[in-house]
Chains A and B, each alone.
Chain A
Amino acid sequence: QVQLQESGPGLVKPSETLSLTCSVSGGSVSSGSYYWSWIRQPPGKGLEWIGYVSYIGSTEYNPSLKSRLTISVDTSKNHFSLRLNSVTAADTAVYYCARVGRGYNYGFWFDPWGQGTLVSVSS
């Protein structure tokens, strides 16, 4: 079964760039049947969809983050990545990666998810 695992620094300084990678095992990011997505949850708050990337590198971003955001895919390493520029304390959150299932007349859904990684923005 497909498993996803986030990795990256747990602490980032304000104004710097947050970079995370999601490694996929038991499946391939080259599958055209899925997208690959990032979601975050600030402490004590709800879930926020960040964006997704397809296997050919096409993307869809949350407009609230679009100006600072890059999501990319590396099929040779079977992983996808998140870069968020100019971070502030408001970007402190647990960051999850997830596979996006899709179906005509069914919409899109996140399954499975990674376990999540806490990223704190602080000097």
Chain B
Amino acid sequence: DIQMTQSPSSLSASVGDRVTITCRASQSISNFLNWYQAKPGRAPKLLVYAASIVQSDVPSRFSGSGYGTEFTLTISSLQPEDFTTYYCQQSDSSPWTFGQGTKVEV
């Protein structure tokens, strides 16, 4: 199985900060990397697919980049509703696997 490792596991930030989360794959996964936002008790939300394509209803402050084994999710100016947990997920090969999550805290 392809292992996905996110860093950091948690981070402290303030409203307005620029935040970057990294996801590393144990082997090359081309651009088959997605990012999700998860809030307790709610359906997780797709933010970015194919490494850099921002889903249509996602605010423009979210962006993704990377190829191969290293990927980043960037929030350009953190908003109050962004304090939650983010996951990466690879679909290069089955079984599809997720990172362990990054919790963005105040």
**Contact count band on A:** 20 to 34
Q: Are B98 and A107 in contact (CB under 8 A)?
A: no
A18 to B33, CA, bound (A): 30
The proximity string for A residues 1-18 relative to B, scoring 1 for CB distances below 8 Å and 0 otherwise, is: 000100000000000000
Q: Are B34 and A110 in contact (CB under 8 A)?
A: yes
Q: How far is the CB of A73 from chain B (nearest CB, A)?
A: 19
What number of A-B contacts does a CB cutoff of 8 Å give?
72
Q: Are B95 and A63 in contact (CB under 8 A)?
A: yes
Q: Known contacts A96-B43, A107-B31: does B94 contact A60 (CB below 8 Å)?
A: yes
The prevalent SS among residues of A at the interface is strand
The prevalent SS among residues of B at the interface is loop
Within 78-99 of B, Cβ neighbours of A (below 8 Å) are at 87, 89-92, 94-99
Task: Verify if A46 is at the interface (C-beta below 8 Å from B).
Answer: yes
A interface list, Cβ under 8 A from B? 4, 46-49, 60, 62-64, 96, 101, 103, 105-116
